[in-house]
Chains A and B, each alone.
Chain A
Amino acid sequence: MTYLSTVDVIDTVHAFVYREARYADEGAYSRWLDLWASEDILYWVSPREDLDPAREVSFIYDDRAMLEQRVARWNSGFAWAQIPRSLTSRIVGNVEIDETSADLIQVRANVHVVVVRKGSTTFLPERVSYQLRSDGGELRIVQKKVVFLDGDAPVGNITFVL
């Protein structure tokens, strides 16, 4: 890989993960869903890095069909836990590209989510890893794994985009 193409990849990946964060902050659920690949995806929110999803419980373990239902629920007007919506401001930092191959780019980042709802402000620190794929020149999310820093602590309302 040449120096210039490396810079291009880094710029493209940064722009992509920032855009994902912005759609999440804006509550633009359908546009957020469009960032995902059309099939064989995994949206996984786990209390721990080394959890075995076949034997242990996660916060979220969505395939494409379930993720679409999740977005439909957000858009329905009947998801009371998001009425009013959790307002979020997230900082995506320490973005690193771990590995690129012909089809997949592995990315990891630290994400600090500040959440404001019904007069209280909470803070949710996450480690996030992505598998991104270029579909027709556009990056798409194949897998997003979110790990909570303190997954055993009681959580309040976490029914927004994690």
Chain B
Amino acid sequence: MTIDLNSLMGPGWVDGSVYTDEEIFEAERIRIFRQTWLYVAHESEVPEAGDYQRRELAGEPVIVVRDRDEAVRVLLNRCRHRGNLVCQEAEGNAQFFRCQYHGWTYANRGDLVGVPYPKSYGDDFDKSAMGLAAMPRVDTYRGFIFASFNPDVPELSEHLGEGAQRLIDVFIDQSPTGRITVRSGVQRSEYRGNWKFVGMDGYHTNFVHKSVEMLQHADKGPEHGDQEKADQADMGPLEFGKSPDKLGNTAWSLGRGHVHINNSPQRLAKSDKTIADLTATADGAAYLVSMEAAYGQARARELICAPDPHLGLFPNLQIIGVHIRVIEPVAADRTVIVQYPALLEGVPDEINTHRLRKHEWFFSPAGFGSPDDYEIFERNQAGLAADVEPRVVLTRGLGAETTRADGVVEGAYTDEVPQRGQLERWTELMSAAGSPGMDEAS
């Protein structure tokens, strides 16, 4: 298939078919999802030898497993015989994966170790060449496991870059021991829209999340409800309804499609209140003490008062609030979003429980925030069907960005800097020739 990318985009615009065309979607599966690094799981989900998790990577069923030598492998969940699933459970611990169709058995490092009645395959049947296919590259950053189908993909550290690593640090260093656990359940949402709508957009907040702004500003009038009750429900600390650009917030493109919307200025302006609220409880005070002991007073307070990484790592990972969010493209017009809240090690239980409640409030599939995002994505997909005038406009703040010394392109919070950054990476990967192959497990 030939896709003429030049006809699909120009400075600050992209053709709507990039979100609706099934041929483009199939090309994305090969050129993006089989070419670059993908987030697969967190190490705390497979802590012991034999622990495994099933995952989907743009439609490919895989098993993330810590093998008997404690190495993390990412194996295709597909028998080398006739392609049956070899692993049925969502997670577990196993020495072997056995295909129930004809009994082929694989060790948890992927080797084919048993074939029933093998004689009929002849003397030249080589079991060592028939292990479960493995993703040839697996690497981690602070417990985040990434893998690639492309043996020649650049190093993970190069792919992530300094900027993204520092933002992942913010997420993990909410723990005074610098460790998180991702064992608090999973939330899966499906919407009828393209996976690339899950961007990083500082412009939508006061419009898509108008209901939250209304609840938070009950003091504006009786139609907004009861301010005292709103305060009791603890819907903060990010206040909606103000102009985010005036608060000093910014939007970043970190390179390689990674993006960030930086709401730290808005949060740091309320540091005194955040610390006062935290230390009003014994658990909160103890948490602050342990954080200051671990990171020093200034850094600890910065971490606590501006805790939201709001990071998008192209193509399939976001780290927002207290959760890890994975994007599973299903079709051009269908996407599954998987959310894994993370708990902090070394903190009072109440701190973690509070994290979960705040997450549920906004991000749950039944929450006050994310479902409105998904609704808007569905309306966007429906609107793009009107393709007589097919251009989607991404010019907000075009030309007003600054490129910092560290290479980060930064604009105002509501500018479409992240959208353009992601599109640039999308174009780069979609333009690259060849489709990478697969390695044998070894």
How many angstroms from the CA of A47 to the CA of B341 in the assembled complex?
14
Known pairs A76-B214, A157-B374; A53 contacts B356 (CB<8 A): yes
Q: Are A60 and B364 in contact, CB atoms less than 8 angstroms apart?
A: yes
Q: Are B343 and A73 in contact, CB atoms less than 8 angstroms apart?
A: no
Interface positions, chain A 141-158, Cβ under 8 Å from B, are: 152-158
Chain B residues, Cβ within 8 Å of A154: 188-190, 336
Tell me if B433 is interfacial: C-beta within 8 Å of chain A.
no
Chain A residues, Cβ within 8 Å of B339: 57
Mark interface residues in B347-362 (1 if CB within 8 Å of A CB, else 0). 0010011001101110
Known pairs A55-B184, A76-B211; A69 contacts B230 (CB<8 A): yes
Tell me if A113 is interfacial: C-beta within 8 Å of chain B.
no
How many angstroms from the CA of A60 to the CA of B371 in the assembled complex?
13
Interface positions, chain B 145-196, Cβ under 8 Å from A, are: 183-191
Q: Are A70 and B368 in contact, CB atoms less than 8 angstroms apart?
A: yes
Shortest distance from the beta carbon of B20 to any chain A beta carbon, whole Å:
18
Tell me if A116 is interfacial: C-beta within 8 Å of chain B.
no
Q: Are B361 and A66 in contact, CB atoms less than 8 angstroms apart?
A: yes
Instruction: Give the number of residues in B that approach A within 8 Å (Cβ atoms).
Output: 46
Chain A interface size band reads 35 or more
Q: Are B368 and A73 in contact, CB atoms less than 8 angstroms apart?
A: yes
Which residue in B215, B359, B375, B378 is a CB contact (below 8 Å) of A76? B215
Interface positions, chain B 202-236, Cβ under 8 Å from A, are: 208, 210-212, 214-215, 225-226, 229-230, 232-235
Interface residue SS majority, chain A: loop
Known pairs A66-B233, A68-B233, A73-B211; A54 contacts B352 (CB<8 A): yes
Interface on B for A, CB 8 Å cutoff?
A: 90, 183-191, 208, 210-212, 214-215, 225-226, 229-230, 232-235, 336, 339, 341, 343, 349, 352-353, 356-357, 359-361, 364-366, 368, 371-372, 374-376, 378
Nearest 4 pairs between A and B by C-beta? A65-B232, A78-B211, A154-B190, A154-B188
